[in-house]
Amino acid sequence: MPELAEVEYFRKQWDSGIGKKVTRVHSHADKRPFRGIDVSLLEQIAGKKLVESRSAGKQMLFRFSGGLWLGLHLGMTGKLGVEAADYPPAKHDHLVLFQSGRALVFNDMRQFGRVLLHKGKEAPEWWTSISPGPLSPEFNLEHVSQFLARHPKLPLKSTLLLQKGFPGVGNWMADEILWRAKLNPHRKAGAIKPREISALLAETRYVCEVAMTTIGNKFEDAPEGWLFHQRWNRKGKCPKHKSPLQFDTIGGRTTAWCEKCQK
C-alpha cells in the first residue's frame, strides 16, 4: 500500500499521541524491520514525549523529547494505527508505543518495513539526505532531466521507482504518471525528449498533489477516471479509450499501460 500519500495518511494516524509521554515500549527487536540498528535505543523511548512527526517520500520521522528520533518505513505491507491503552499487541505488531490514553501501533505483516533510531540534537543523516520530493520547488526540470540522464539505459518505469529521483513514487503511482504523460514504460530514460520530460514532471506533480488531498487526507479512493482503478486485474481498460490495457513485468514489477495513449 504505502506510497507517498499513504505514508502521509499513516503518519497522521499517530497525531493523537503528540505532546504525550510514552510509558511503555513493546517491540519485536529480533525481527527483520529492526535489522542493522542499535535496538538498545528502543527502551529509551519510554519516558520520552512524542513531540512532532514529519514525512518525506516513503520515510517518516518521529521526534521525541531528549533528542531521540524514530524513523519508520512501511515497506510493502506496513501501517500505523491507534488502539486503546490496554491493547494486546498482535502477531505482526512489531512496535507499539503505549501512552496513558492510547497505544501507537506499527504493524507490518511481510516485514519489508524498517525501524530506524537516532540520538542527537539534529535530525539524522538518513533523514536529511532524502532527495527533494515532487511537490518541492527543487523538483524542477533540471532535477528530473539530470536524473534521467544518469540512468540512460533504464526503462522509464524503473527510473520512476528510484527513490533518489522520485521520492514517494511507487508502483501504482509510476503507472499513473506515465499514463498521464503519454510515455511508454519501456522507453529508455536516456531517450526522452525535453518536451516529454516536461510532461513527465508536470504529471508527477499532479498525481502526487491529487493523491495527497484524497488518499493522504482520508484514505479516500483516487479520483474516478484514474488508471489506478483499472490496473489491479488483467481485464483492466484504458480509462480514455476503453481498450484493454497491456501488462508486463518491468524491473521485476507488474506494469500496466495503454498502447494507444503511451508512445
Note the residues at the interface with DNA (CB under 7 A).
1-3, 6, 32, 57-58, 73, 75-76, 91-92, 109-112, 114, 150-155, 158, 161, 163, 170-172, 189-190, 232, 251-254
**Cell digits for 212?**
495527497
Neighbours of 213 (CB within 10 A): 12
Residue closest to 54 by CA, chosen among 45, 42, 63: 63
Instruction: Specify the residue, 75 or 216, whose C-beta has the smaller distance to DNA.
Output: 75
CB of 164 to DNA, least distance (A): 9
Residues 87 and 105: beta-carbon distance below 8 Å: yes
CB of 228 to DNA, least distance (A): 9
Burial of 22 (0-12, 13-18, 19+ CB in 10 A): buried
Catalytic residue list:
2-3, 58, 253
Instruction: Specify the residue, 52 or 232, whose C-beta has the smaller distance to DNA.
Output: 232
Question: Locate cell 527487536: which residue?
Answer: 29
Instruction: Specify the residue, 17 or 236, whose C-beta has the smaller distance to DNA.
Output: 236
Residues 171 and 254: beta-carbon distance below 8 Å: yes
CB of 252 to DNA, least distance (A): 5
CB of 114 to DNA, least distance (A): 6
Instruction: Specify the residue, 50 or 207, whose C-beta has the smaller distance to DNA.
Output: 207
DSSP annotation of 166: S
